[in-house]
């Protein structure tokens, strides 16, 4: 499915905001301000080239997005979150590169193995969010595994479920540079939004207080990052309307035990936890302050805007 979206010249870039965003990101990713400003200049050249060419539209494919599940109890939610976060690890390492964030291969006992990859993103916001999200979601995977083991005696390891794979494949196929920047920001913001409805329900309905707190933390962090990614798409790339193609959940989704793989070997689990510890040590000083903003969430299979 293809959709025409406005070109950059019909949605002017807010260059002042872009410059502020880039300079802020530079301070958190150890980029020099001069390098960030050079990237601003490249965006100016790109936007001018589009307008001078007289282009009025560009062609974009619908972004695949998994149907957001409702909250069906702690087990179903935690298992989905582990696999959902695991696919996010792969998307973020495609953006930032495995040299920067580590590999998700066999993470937390997963049977999945991925090839090492260089950074495909060049946008400072995409690089910053991919790095911070990778570290946070590694920790959240391990936390969710702990809840399942403690409260239910379930040894659950992450894996790439078929209904979660299309967004990863979509990002993987994007060409490095601006095509990847746009694909990542569109896909990862939607991927975040997939988990918001059930996490909001979980934060008030889960029987166990630590799980409720866990869910509330996910809502806060992913809401903030959705706002940052959508702002970058609008201000730098003129993308204010993203078309999504819903990937349905399987009929058996949420049935107790249907998603539980065989327990991982101790060696694989240890390897994953060691990788997690290294990432957390590297990024423990990252800024995690929450902020209000415009986010997009799924509701009744439609993408709607919500002001928090």
- For 180-220, the pLDDT digits (tens) are 999 999 999 999 999 999 999 999 999 999 999 999 999 99
Question: In angstroms, what is the C-alpha Rg of the chain?
Answer: 19
> Does 81 score more than 90 pLDDT?
yes
Residue 292, classified by CB atoms within 10 Å of its CB into exposed (0-12), middle (13-18) or buried (19+), is exposed
Q: Which residues are registered as beta bridge partners of 298?
A: 303
Query: Do 109 and 272 touch, CB atoms closer than 8 A?
Result: yes
Counting runs of H as helices and runs of E as strands, what totals does the chain give? 9, 6
| 3-state SS, residue 245 | strand
* Structure letter (DSSP) for residue 286: S
Token reading at 302: 């439609």
Token pair 């990432």 is found at 279
Domain ranges of the chain: 64-307
Q: How far apart are CA 260 and CA 11, in angstroms?
A: 47
Give CA torsion, residues 46, 50, 51, 56, to 10 deg.
-150
Question: Under a CB-based contact definition with an 8 Å cutoff, are residues 261 and 159 in contact?
Answer: yes
Q: Which H, E and C letters describe 88-145, residue by residue?
A: HHHHHHHHHCHHHHCCCCCHHHCCCCCCCCCCCCCCHHHHHHHHHHHHHHHHHHHHHH
What is the C-alpha separation between 6 and 18, in angstroms, rounded?
A: 19
Q: Which two tokens stand for residue 219?
A: 């809502």
Give yes or no for residue 239 having a pLDDT over 80: yes
Residues comprising the chain, all counted: 308
Residue pair 130/105 in contact by the 8 Å Cβ criterion? no
Range 64-307: architecture per CATH: Up-down Bundle (1.20)
The percentage of residues in the chain with a pLDDT greater than 90, rounded to a whole number, is 59
- List the one residue out of 78, 99, 59 whose CA is nearest residue 145: 78
Single out the residue of 288, 290, 146, 139 nearest to residue 210, CA to CA.
Answer: 146
What percent of the chain is predicted at pLDDT more than 70?
A: 63
SS3 at position 6: strand
Q: Say which DSSP state 49 is in.
A: H
User: pLDDT class for 136, splitting at 50, 70, 90?
Assistant: very high
Q: 278: alpha, beta or left, given left = phi > 0 and alpha = psi -120 to 50?
A: alpha
Residue 287 has pLDDT above 50, yes or no: no
Mean pLDDT along residues 289-295: 36
Contact between residue 21 and residue 235 where contact means Cβ atoms under 8 Å apart? yes
d(CA 54, CA 240): 20
Nearest partner of 195 among 301, 305, 68, judged by Cα: 68
Binned at pLDDT 50, 70 and 90, residue 131 comes out as very high
Q: Alpha carbon of 68 to those of 34, 167, 188, 253: distances in Å?
A: 41, 13, 14, 11
Q: Per residue in 1-47, pLDDT tens? A: 333 333 333 333 344 444 444 445 444 444 455 554 454 444 443 44
Strand partners, 101: none
Whether the per-residue pLDDT at 282 is higher than 50: the answer is no
Whether residue 82 contacts residue 158, with contact meaning beta carbons closer than 8 Å, is answered with yes
């Amino acid at each position: 499915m293809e959709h025409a979206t406005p070109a950059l010249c019909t949605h002017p870039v807010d260059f002042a905001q872009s410059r502020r965003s880039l300079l802020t990101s530079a301070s958190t990713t150890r980029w020099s301000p001069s390098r960030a400003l050079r990237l601003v200049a490249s965006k100016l050249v790109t936007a001018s080239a589009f307008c001078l060419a007289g282009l009025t539209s560009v062609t974009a494919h619908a972004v695949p997005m998994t149907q957001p599940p409702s909250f069906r109890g702690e087990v179903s939610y935690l298992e989905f979150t582990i696999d959902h976060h695991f696919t996010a690890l792969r998307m973020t390492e495609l953006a930032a590169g495995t040299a920067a964030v580590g590999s998700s291969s066999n993470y937390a006992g997963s049977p999945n193995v991925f090839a090492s990859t260089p950074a495909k993103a060049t946008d400072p916001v995409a690089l910053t969010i991919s790095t911070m999200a990778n570290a946070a979601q590694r920790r959240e995977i391990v936390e969710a595994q702990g809840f399942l083991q403690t409260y239910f005696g379930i040894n659950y390891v992450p894996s790439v479920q078929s209904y979660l794979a299309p967004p990863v494949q979509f990002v993987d196929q994007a060409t490095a540079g601006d095509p990847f920047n746009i694909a990542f920001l569109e896909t990862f913001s939607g991927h975040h939004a997939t988990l918001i409805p059930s996490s909001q329900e979980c934060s008030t309905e889960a029987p166990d207080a630590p799980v409720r707190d866990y869910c509330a933390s996910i809502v806060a962090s992913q809401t903030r990052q959705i706002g940052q990614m959508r702002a970058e798409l609008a201000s730098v790339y003129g993308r204010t309307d993203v078309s999504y193609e819903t990937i349905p959940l399987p009929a058996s989704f949420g049935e107790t035990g249907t998603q539980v793989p065989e327990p991982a070997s101790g060696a694989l689990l240890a390897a994953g936890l060691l990788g997690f510890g290294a990432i957390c040590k590297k990024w423990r000083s990252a800024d995690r302050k929450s902020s209000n903003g415009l986010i997009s969430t799924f509701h009744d299979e439609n993408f709607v805007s919500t002001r928090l």
